[in-house]
Chains A and B, each alone.
Chain A
Amino acid sequence: MNTILRKENLSELVVKLEIEAPLIAQKRKPGHFVIVKIGDKGERIPLTISQADPDKGTITLIVQKVGTTSHKLAALNAGDTVTDLAGPLGHATHIEKVGTVLCAGGGVGIAPLLPIVEAMHTAGNRIISVLGARSKNLIILEKEIRAASDEVIITTDDGSYGQLGLITKGMEEVISKEKVDMAITIGPAIMMKFCSLLTKKFNIPTVASLNTIMVDGTGMCGACRVSVAGKTKFVCVDGPEFDAHDVDFDELLMRLNAYKEQEYSNYQQYKENIKA
């Protein structure tokens, strides 16, 4: 169980893993996430499922190397197994025909955005995708996003690919020239905050998929709590998607730093260990 069948390096920092998980593949819908744990002493982290193949019994996870666990996961190869894998968790994305949908994916957030783009496209929406990242090598799944979009705009912070600038620039360009009925944003919290501020200005209903710290992922611990319209919600069981205009992104950004120092020293220790 949980055997990695295929591994592809999408960039220096991002890997794509196709993992055998027949039960999860059967149940998974766009928006769902899994909890992953590597090794007996590993931590539990949430990762949104990028793709699934119920016939083959596999799910695809796209991982950006950030801390210890993502490095450990990215270091696994085809034939290796993921120690613990549980899901699919969270509420699935609400898919319906609303008209024109602006899908904004930042960096590795493009991975969980892909199944939503595909499902919204199949539901008959006009899809305009805006993909943003620091630089060219972090724009992932472009081909797949293009296949399910009517239009694609790419922005990079350093101008190495697409337009120079932040993702909001690409979004604004779309909003200024046509009516957008709904927006979806997935990416780093800081990016989602600014996407949300932008669409709020234009009164475009917007959904954000939040990625917070979690331990169990089933409602038990409350590490993932976030303020939505002034009320505390648990991202794992109430989300992960919320009305972006109601999310307190500043609190979310603050809470993401809860274990920053420990995570940093743990990662340094991990790097020392693999060198040794």
Chain B
Amino acid sequence: MEGETNNYLRERREMEWRENLRKQIKAKDRTSIERVKMPEERPDDRIKGQVEVNKGLTDEMAVKEARRCLDCLNPTCIQGCPVNINIPEFIKCIEAGNFADAAIVLKDTNALPAVCGRVCPQEVQCEANCFYTLKLKKEPVAIGYLERFAADFERNSGNISLPEVAANNGIKVAVIGSGPAGLSASGELAKLGYQVTVFEALHELGGVLKYGIPEFRLPNSIVDVEINNLKKLGVTFHKNIIIGKTLSFEDLSRQGFKAFFVGSGAGLPGFMNIPGENYIGILSSNEYLTRVNLMGAARPDYDTPVQFGKNVAVIGGGNTAMDSVRTAKRLGAERAMIIYRRSLDEMPARKEEIKHAMEEGIEFMTLRNPVEYIADKNGRVKSIRVQQMELGEPDSSGRRKPVPIEGSEYLLDADLVIVSVGVSPNPLIPQSLPELNVTRWGTIGVDAVSMQSNIPGVFAGGDIVRGGATVILAMGDGKKAARGIHDMLDNTVNKTLQDKSTASS
């Protein structure tokens, strides 16, 4: 399989147009071009609304950036990509001015390029493995920006290409959850000719892409375009169906589904279990973001309420914490603060998100930890007892462990607290399949290659397996599981045919 891929990549690289392109500019001239800067909305403008912060590259910027790519013989960047996009190929399409072709290359391996171009942590994936990073110690080619550019170009052109789809094989596969893992699995399975039905528990499709990631980082309209593309590939979507509740796995088997992909996500927010955490005005980032992003709570004509805090404290340092604190700022918070128990260096959020948050006036209170909440007489939170921390020895994660400083506690005013300290897997599917192998963290145990659980025919991926990871890792899982499902079903189909022929002979 790997050899096959390498051969394919080499063949593509040796195409005449790629060779010509390589010859046009000397490597030295390529490497002397400076990395493009992403045009952004001004911080004081963007915090007034939900407008997308990154505006996207212009054609000229994209072509110039594409020229930086050396079209390496050994494209290490691809190894950093969980869905193995042929990165040099799509970048060289951009350099050649064939923007639409670049999008086709992306969609060959990635069902949601416009999404990934926006929310993937490229700095620790493809761009971390770019020749510029590894060997030249220079800023990597802006692969993420270019991915977004190509996907946006295609979408805006109104001329959306669809990947090649194998003939419908009539085999029904059920996908549970329409988040990144489910969408990616559906796209792959549809391409392989399966009849895919996606079951979504909520009233909207897209999972975390809709309820979690805010408009200013990933507009919902972009997610909808990607979902519509899947519909064009023949994928059927059903909303408001909770598998394990509305329909059981048995029901689906009876309806003729031959395999299941569970991508039900990390839908159970974690709390810290400290005194006062159930006071009014203290909520999970999942709840806060769902109210604002999915339910439109901040807009006057929507029924769902949300609290507009004056002093908003977000507990945690991940991307979800950044999304929450930046949302609070946009909803008019005077102070929007991050409270994080380690230092900036250990913060798990993407550097870009931290940078954007700082530009927007978010206060970073690092080496701080809440230990208690204090409320007014109505049970509404009014302040946080904060403890100062220092970094001790590295813990099992390799990061230096935060240690409380004795006697350092103080009170901080806060009328809205958003707890963003991680999520656990949603319990509904494991509850409905008692024989399913569930780890002690509540995640579904799967085979690392096929993504199959201990129940034959039941596959899983994304946060229900990982506990809380990224969009792209979920998508990578979905893709792997699609392959696993295909291998299983292909074998059974072949076996059935063999059995039939043996029986008849």
Residues of A within 8 A of B (CB): 23-24, 27, 37, 39, 41-44, 68-69, 83-89, 215-216, 218-223, 225-227, 232, 234, 237, 251, 254-255, 257-259, 262-263, 266, 269
Contact = CB atoms under 8 A, between A and B. Distances in A.
Given A41-B303, A216-B290, A266-B303, A23 B246 contact: yes
Contacts of A89: 242, 245
A86 B283 contact: no
B290 A87 contact: no
A218 B201 contact: yes
Interface in B424-475: 426-428, 431
A217 B168 CA distance: 36
A259 B366 CA distance: 31
Interface in B263-312: 265, 267-269, 271, 273, 277-281, 283-284, 286-287, 290-291, 295-296, 299-307
Contacts of B271: 222, 225, 232
A84 B428 contact: no
- The 5 A-B residue pairs with the shortest CB-CB distance in the complex, in nearest-first order: A262-B305, A254-B379, A221-B287, A220-B267, A43-B304
Given A41-B303, A223-B283, A218 B267 contact: yes
B240 interface: yes
A37 B427 contact: no
A23 B247 contact: yes
Given A23-B246, A223-B287, A232 B277 contact: yes
Contacts of B246: 23-24, 27, 86-88
A216 B201 CA distance: 9
Contacts of A43: 295, 302-305
A232 B278 contact: yes
Contact of B290 (A219, A220, A234, A237): A220
A39 B203 CA distance: 11
Contacts of B248: 27
Contacts of A44: 203, 295, 304
B280 A221 contact: no
B48 interface: no
A219 B203 contact: no
Contact of B426 (A41, A218, A259, A269): A218
B232 interface: no
27 contacts: A24-B246, A27-B248, A37-B203, A41-B301, A42-B304, A43-B303, A84-B240, A86-B242, A87-B242, A87-B245, A87-B246, A215-B291, A216-B267, A218-B267, A219-B267, A219-B268, A219-B426, A220-B265, A221-B269, A221-B284, A237-B427, A251-B379, A255-B379, A257-B280, A257-B378, A258-B280, A269-B300
Contacts of B279: 254
A219 B278 CA distance: 16
Nearest to B266: A220
B73 to A, nearest CB: 47
Nearest to A231: B273
B242 A216 contact: no
B386 interface: no
Residue from A41, A84, A215 whose CB has the most chain B CB atoms within 10 Å: A215
B230 to A, nearest CB: 21
B240 A86 contact: yes
A263 B301 CA distance: 13
A41 B241 contact: no
B239 interface: yes
A227 B278 contact: yes
Contact of B269 (A37, A220, A251): A220
Contacts of A88: 245-246
B202 interface: yes
Q: Would you call the interface of chain B mostly helix, strand, loop, or mixed? A: loop
A87 B245 CA distance: 6
B241 A23 contact: yes
B239 A84 contact: yes
Interface of B: 201-203, 211, 239-242, 245-248, 265, 267-269, 271, 273, 277-281, 283-284, 286-287, 290-291, 295-296, 299-307, 378-379, 426-428, 431
A69 B241 CA distance: 21
A218 B280 CA distance: 21
A221 B212 CA distance: 11
Contact of B273 (A27, A219, A222, A232): A232
Contacts of B240: 84-86
A72 to B, nearest CB: 8
Interface centre among B239, B271, B306, B379 (most CB of A within 10 A): B379
The residue among A222, A226, A259, A269 with the most chain B CB atoms within 10 A of its own CB is A222
A81 B162 CA distance: 35
B286 A222 contact: yes
Nearest to B271: A232
Contacts of B306: 262
A68 B303 contact: yes
Contact of B284 (A85, A222, A227, A263): A222
Nearest to A41: B302
A248 to B, nearest CB: 8
B152 to A, nearest CB: 27
A220 B241 CA distance: 15
B290 A215 contact: yes
Contacts of B203: 37, 44, 83-84, 86
Contacts of B273: 232
Contacts of B291: 215
A37 B295 CA distance: 10
Contacts of A220: 211, 265, 267-269, 286, 290, 426
Contacts of B379: 251, 254-255, 257
Nearest to B291: A215
Which of A37, A87, A220, A237 has the largest number of chain B CB atoms within 10 A?
A220
Which of A39, A225, A269 is the most central at the interface, judged by chain B CB atoms within 10 Å of its CB?
A225
Contacts of B241: 23, 86
A52 to B, nearest CB: 13
Nearest to A23: B246
Nearest to B303: A43
A41 B203 CA distance: 11
B286 A221 contact: yes
B278 A255 contact: yes
A236 to B, nearest CB: 10
Contacts of A24: 246
Contacts of B239: 84
B280 A255 contact: yes
Nearest to A238: B427
Nearest to B269: A222
Given A219-B268, A237-B427, A251 B278 contact: yes
B11 to A, nearest CB: 46
A27 B243 CA distance: 11
Contact of B303 (A42, A84, A225, A227): A42
Contacts of B277: 232
A3 to B, nearest CB: 14
